[in-house]
Amino acid sequence: MTQKTRNRRGFTLLELMASMTIFLIICAAMFGLLQLSQQKYSSESQMSGAFQEARLGIDQIVRDINISGYPSQNMFSKPVSSASYAVGPVAWDPGYPATDCQIGACTTPGDYDVILETDLGDGNVSWIRYTLTGTTLFRGVLQKTTGDPNTAPWGTGVMVPLVSNVMNNPPGALVAQITAEYPTLFPGGAPQPVFRYNCATPAGSQPCNLAPTTYNAPKLVSDVDVMLIVMTQTPDMQTKQLKLMELSGRGHRSNPSN
């Protein structure tokens, strides 16, 4: 009988409350950890997404630079329309195609804008434009004409977003915060060019703006350094800091200049 009664005993209120308290404490800790990991995951996921987007963008830009300048004029028997061949690896303005402008003083190519010339495989020469507008890097493709490459109909529908949240030239409201948090990314607090150009000189490839004037010409661009500083969509949920990262690549023109 005693045995039977003992077997039928439930938990005491004290036992129940103690166990529930322990359970709730453990649950609270677990949910806290879960929330923390969710925040972390969300931040890292955003970082990863931004990184991937920028990396694919750089890969696309570098690919286009590598094949720029195809076909050059020496692939033809006689002068053809300048729309039929690549005058250089990059188109320029002003003066295109007769007179080179000095890189640094050109409207394009510039720190945030470049128009590449190449055949993308369809037998026609195309202009491929990359331009940073606000914080979005756009890419557009137009079939080359004999007109001015800068004023060609680059409009909505032609220029499509390639990489978002590009902070090379951050908007005014964010400049102070970004440069304060990432001083090494913005030496002197100055905006950073997306495109830097190297020109072919007898002494080898040199930054165009440091090369002798004769060789500072879009036609002679041999390499383009591409640097993207991208930011996540939202600040870090834990630290509330802006998350930025820098990616870089270099495209090398293999086609000869005219």
Partner 1 sequence: MVQNKQTWGRKAESGAALLIAIFALLLISVIAIALVVTSGTDAALGGNYRTSAGAYFAAAAGLEEARGRLLWKNPDCIVNRPLSPPNPNCPNATFIPTVLTSAAGYLPNMQLHDVRYILNPLNGETVDPQSANPSDYPDTEYATEFAPLAGANVATIPSIQQANIAGLPGPPYKWVRITPATEKSVNIDVNGDGTKDPLARLYYEPSNLDSSCRPSPGLIPEGSPVLLNCSPAQQLPSPTPTGVQALEVTSLAVLPSGARRIVQYVVAPLIISASVPPSSALPPGMPTNNFPAALTLDGSSVTFQSPNPWGNSSDCAPGSLNPAYCIDGQDFSNTANGVASISCTIPSGCSPITAEISSQGPTNPNFYPGSPINPISTPPNAPAFAPTSVVNLSVPQPPSQPLLQQRWQTPKTLDAIAQDITNSADVVINKAAASGSDISARAPTMSATNPMTIVVNGDLDLTGWHNAAFGLLLVTGTLHYDPDASWNGIVLVIGQGIFSSSKNGSGGIHGAVVVAKTRDNSGILLTTPTLGPAFFGTQSSYGSGPGLGIRYDSFWTQQAQGPLSYKVLSFREITLAN
List of residues contacting partner 1 (CB under 8 A): 4, 7-8, 41, 45, 48, 52, 55-56, 59, 63, 66-67, 70-80, 84, 118-121, 123, 202-203, 212, 214, 254-256
Q: Which is nearer to partner 1, 67 or 244 (CB)?
A: 67
Q: Which is nearer to partner 1, 72 or 179 (CB)?
A: 72
Q: What's the closest the beta carbon of residue 207 comes to partner 1, in angstroms?
A: 19
The encoded tokens of residue 182 equal 């990432």
Q: What's the closest the beta carbon of residue 4 comes to partner 1, in angstroms?
A: 7
Q: What's the closest the beta carbon of residue 112 comes to partner 1, in angstroms?
A: 24
Q: What's the closest the beta carbon of residue 247 comes to partner 1, in angstroms?
A: 11
Q: Which is nearer to partner 1, 44 or 111 (CB)?
A: 44
Q: What's the closest the beta carbon of residue 71 comes to partner 1, in angstroms?
A: 5
Q: Which is nearer to partner 1, 47 or 158 (CB)?
A: 47
**What whole-number distance in Å separates Cα of residue 182 and Cα of residue 232?**
14
Q: Which is nearer to partner 1, 79 or 157 (CB)?
A: 79
